[in-house]
Amino acid sequence: MNKKSLPTTQKKGKARLGDQIRSIADRLKQETDVQIQATSRILGAAAQIAENHDRLINEVVDLVESDLNLEKQVSQKHIYNVDILKQQFKTLRDAKVHFNLKVSSWESLVNKLNAAYSQTTIIQNKPQSNQVLTDNHVKKSEVPYKNIEKLTVFLEPDVAEMFPNSEAVNEGLRFLIRVTSKNHSASL
């Protein structure tokens, strides 16, 4: 080999090494760009989740406030009236489904509910010896003053602490039904 060819070979080797380093640097830059885009998408999704969470919390708070206001109105009067029911339900059909009653007008619904409320109050004021809460039994029974099938449920002690009577259990379950049905309809 002559003296001129040696430096040219070294120059070519350095040029190839430089090209390889540039190629690696380009790939690293592309990977960094991909990671930045992925991180941006993840942060965007997290922001959307936080926004949805806040909206859901606000909806639940609104439902609870509405229920508390309605319960306050009903408990103050101890009777139902057309205005209260119209505030709670969009249509007579919704109210009929909620209470599982067959009626043809708001007035007849109010009459049936108030009649049932006065009978329920009398029954609930009687001492109840069947409040044994150790077993998880469920049985169906017919109430003589109504043709509506009732369900007797024995609560576990920890649940019974939170729900002192059947009215509290029913209101809790109705609230849960409204929240889940509202969320189900919002997702469709």
Average pLDDT value for the chain:
76
Residue among 88, 188, 2, 45 at smallest CA distance from 37 = 45
Give 89 or 163, the one with higher predicted confidence: 89
147 found inside a domain: yes
58 found inside a domain: yes
114 and 134 assigned to the same domain: no
Give 184 or 110, the one with higher predicted confidence: 110
pLDDT digits (tens, 9 = 90+) for 164-176: 788 888 888 888 8
82 and 42 assigned to the same domain: no
- Which pLDDT belongs to residue 119? 53
138 and 185 assigned to the same domain: yes
29 and 40 assigned to the same domain: yes
Instruction: Yes or no: say if 64 and 175 are a contact pair by the CB < 8 Å rule.
Output: yes
101 found inside a domain: yes
73 found inside a domain: no
pLDDT digits (tens, 9 = 90+) for 137-158: 444 444 444 555 667 777 788 8
pLDDT at 56 over 90: no
Cα–Cα distances in Å, from 75 out to 67, 70, 117? 12, 8, 11
142 and 185 assigned to the same domain: yes
% the chain with pLDDT above 70: 70
pLDDT at 124 over 60: no
State the pLDDT confidence band at 186, using cuts at 50, 70 and 90. low
49 found inside a domain: yes
Q: Which range marks the domain in which residue 158 is found?
A: 129-188
Query: Scanning the structure block, which residue is given the tokens 């209260």?
Result: 84
pLDDT digits (tens, 9 = 90+) for 65-83: 887 777 666 555 557 788 8
Structural domains in the chain (count): 3
- Which pLDDT belongs to residue 137? 46
